[in-house]
C-alpha cells in the first residue's frame, strides 16, 4: 500500500544535471547541464531519499537487488518548477511554467504575439505520404516584424492569462526567470604527491537556484510505500543536497481564471506539454490514428472523439539516465529516447462539434499522456482556443 505525499525539493547548492553529450564535444571543452532536471531525475531523488530513511529505520543498508524491490512501488506524479521570494511560504502564485510554442516575441511589440493555426493552402516540404499530417493547420504572420528569442519560463500570472486567451505583456528581458548559470572547474588530486592530476581536470555548468531576491525549487507529487517524513535529498549528477519541505496538494490545483474560461465553453482546446512527453510515434500523441485527412482519437477522461487540428512541436529532447541498481550496484546507462519538448502545444476540436467545458479542463489539468507516466513524463495543461477556418 502506498500513500501520496506532496513536497518541495529545494536545492541549496545549485543543480548539475548533465545532458547526453560527452565532456569534450564542443570548442569549450566542458560538460553541459540541462536547463531543468528531467522527471526521471526527480524520481531518482525521491527513491533515494525514501530508501535512505528506510535504511536508517531498519539499521542496515539495502543490497542492490533489495533496493530495486523496496523502491519499485514509488511513483512520480505531477511536478512543477517553483520560484519564490525569500522568506515566503510556497503558494500557487510561485509556480513557473514552460512558455508554449504558440507564444512569439516580436521586435517593437509590447505584447506577446499569439500564433493561431489556420488551414493551409500549400503543401509542406516534407514527405507527402501522410495526408493527415499534410492537412494539419499551421500559423501565419501578417506583418514583417522580426521575431525575437522566446523566453524559456514565465510566471503563474502570464501562464494563466495565456491559457485563458488573454493578452500577455512582452518582457524586455525574456530570460529574466531563467536560473543563472556559472562554470565550475574541478580537478583530481594525486594522493601520494598532493598535486593536481591534469588528466582529471574538467568543468561543467551549474544552475544557481539561489538568487539575490528569490529561490527555485521543484514541487513534487509522489506515491511512496509509507508516510514517514523525508527531510533531505540528493539531486543531479553530483548528488547536490536539496531540502524537502512539505506542502499542500493545493499547489497542483487548476487556476480559477482558467476554469472560468472553460465554464463559458470553448470551441477548441489547446494542450501544452509541461513535462517531456514520450509517444510511440514521435510527435503524435498516443491513441490518435489517421482517418482520411484527419488524426482522430481520445484524451484522458474527455467524453467523445477529438480531432487533432495542429501541432507546434519543437525539436525533440534526448532523455537518458543512469540505472544505479544495475550490474550488481555498479550501474549502467539507460536507453536514450527522443521525447516531445516541454512547451510543445497541440490543438483539438471535438469531432461532433461540442465545446469543451469546465469538467474537461479539470480532467486535463496536469493529466498524463503517453508512456513513462509513472516517472512523471507527459504532463499537460489545457487552454482555450477559438478555431479560425481562414487567415482573415
The DSSP secondary structure of 294-313, one letter per residue, reads EEEE--TT--S-EEEEEEE-
The answer to whether residues 246 and 6 touch, using CB atoms and an 8 Å cutoff, is yes
The DSSP bridge partners found for residue 295 are 290, 308
Q: In this model, does residue 27 exceed pLDDT 60?
A: no
For 260, left (φ over 0), alpha (ψ -120 to 50), or beta? alpha
**What is d(CA 300, CA 49) in angstroms, rounded to the nearest whole number?**
31
> What residues contact residue 126 under an 8 Å CB cut-off, 6+ apart?
133, 134
* pLDDT for residue 126: 61
**Locus of grid cell 531563467:** 178
pLDDT digits (tens, 9 = 90+) for 244-286: 999 999 999 999 999 999 999 999 999 999 999 999 999 999 9
C-alpha cell at 6: 506532496
Comparing CA positions, the residue from 190, 163, 165 lying closest to residue 98 is: 163
pLDDT digits (tens, 9 = 90+) for 164-203: 999 999 875 555 678 888 777 777 788 888 887 776 666 7
The answer to whether residues 14 and 211 touch, using CB atoms and an 8 Å cutoff, is no
pLDDT digits (tens, 9 = 90+) for 326-365: 776 677 777 888 999 999 999 999 999 999 999 999 999 9
CATH no., domain 3-96+177-252: 3.30.70
Q: Which residue would you say has higher pLDDT here, 125 or 247?
A: 247
Confidence of residue 159 (pLDDT cuts 50, 70, 90): very high
Q: Which residue would you say has higher pLDDT here, 146 or 312?
A: 312
The DSSP secondary structure of 29-53, one letter per residue, reads -SB-B-SS--HHHHHHHHHHHHHHH
Residue 83 main-chain phi, psi, to 5 deg? -150, 120
**What is d(CA 333, CA 320) in angstroms, rounded to the nearest whole number?**
7
C-alpha cell at 155: 510566471
Average pLDDT estimate for 85-94: 94
- Burial label, 171 (beta-carbon count in 10 A; 0-12, 13-18, 19+): middle
The answer to whether residues 272 and 381 touch, using CB atoms and an 8 Å cutoff, is yes
Q: Parse the chain into domains and list their residue ranges.
A: 3-96+177-252
What is the separation of C-alpha 96 from the centre of its chain, rounded to a whole number of angstroms? 11
Mean pLDDT of the chain: 86
pTM metric for this prediction:
0.90
Q: How many CA atoms lie within 13 A of 121 on its CB side?
A: 4
Amino acid at each position: 500500500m502506498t500513500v501520496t505525499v506532496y513536497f518541495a525539493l529545494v536545492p541549496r547548492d545549485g543543480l548539475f544535471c548533465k545532458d547526453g553529450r560527452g565532456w569534450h564535444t564542443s570548442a569549450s571543452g566542458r560538460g553541459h547541464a540541462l536547463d531543468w532536471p528531467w522527471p526521471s531525475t526527480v524520481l531518482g531523488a525521491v527513491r533515494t531519499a525514501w530508501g535512505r530513511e528506510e535504511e536508517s529505520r531498519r539499521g542496515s543498508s539495502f543490497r542492490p537487488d533489495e533496493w530495486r524491490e523496496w523502491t519499485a512501488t514509488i511513483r512520480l506524479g505531477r511536478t512543477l518548477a517553483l520560484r519564490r521570494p525569500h522568506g515566503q511560504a510556497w503558494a500557487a502564485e510561485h509556480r513557473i511554467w514552460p512558455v508554449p510554442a504558440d507564444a512569439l516575441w516580436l521586435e517593437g511589440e509590447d505584447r506577446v504575439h499569439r500564433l493561431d493555426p489556420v488551414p493551409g493552402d500549400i503543401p509542406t516540404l516534407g514527405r507527402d505520404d501522410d495526408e493527415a499530417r499534410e492537412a494539419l493547420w499551421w500559423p501565419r504572420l501578417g506583418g514583417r516584424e522580426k521575431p525575437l528569442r522566446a523566453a524559456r519560463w514565465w510566471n503563474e500570472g502570464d501562464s494563466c492569462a495565456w491559457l485563458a486567451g488573454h493578452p500577455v505583456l512582452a518582457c524586455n528581458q525574456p530570460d529574466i526567470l531563467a536560473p543563472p548559470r556559472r562554470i565550475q572547474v574541478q580537478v583530481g588530486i594525486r594522493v601520494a604527491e598532493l598535486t593536481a592530476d591534469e588528466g582529471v581536470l574538467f568543468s561543467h555548468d551549474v544552475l544557481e537556484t539561489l538568487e539575490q531576491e528569490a529561490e527555485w525549487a521543484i514541487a513534487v507529487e509522489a506515491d511512496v510505500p509509507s508516510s514517514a517524513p523525508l527531510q533531505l535529498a540528493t539531486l543531479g549528477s553530483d548528488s547536490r543536497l536539496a531540502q524537502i519541505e512539505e506542502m499542500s496538494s493545493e499547489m497542483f490545483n487548476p487556476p480559477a481564471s482558467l476554469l472560468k474560461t472553460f465554464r463559458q465553453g470553448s470551441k477548441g482546446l489547446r494542450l501544452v506539454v509541461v513535462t517531456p512527453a514520450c509517444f510511440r510515434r514521435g510527435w503524435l500523441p498516443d491513441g490518435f490514428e489517421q482517418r482520411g485527412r484527419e488524426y482522430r482519437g481520445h484524451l484522458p477522461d474527455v467524453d467523445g472523439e477529438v480531432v487533432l487540428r495542429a501541432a507546434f512541436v519543437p525539436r525533440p529532447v534526448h532523455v537518458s539516465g543512469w540505472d544505479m541498481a544495475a550490474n550488481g550496484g555498479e550501474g549502467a546507462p539507460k536507453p536514450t529516447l527522443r521525447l516531445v519538448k516541454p512547451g510543445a502545444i497541440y490543438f483539438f476540436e471535438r469531432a461532433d462539434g461540442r465545446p469543451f467545458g469546465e469538467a474537461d479542463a479539470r480532467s486535463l489539468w496536469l493529466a498524463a499522456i503517453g508512456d513513462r507516466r509513472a516517472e512523471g513524463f507527459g504532463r499537460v495543461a489545457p487552454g482555450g482556443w477559438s478555431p479560425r477556418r481562414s487567415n482573415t
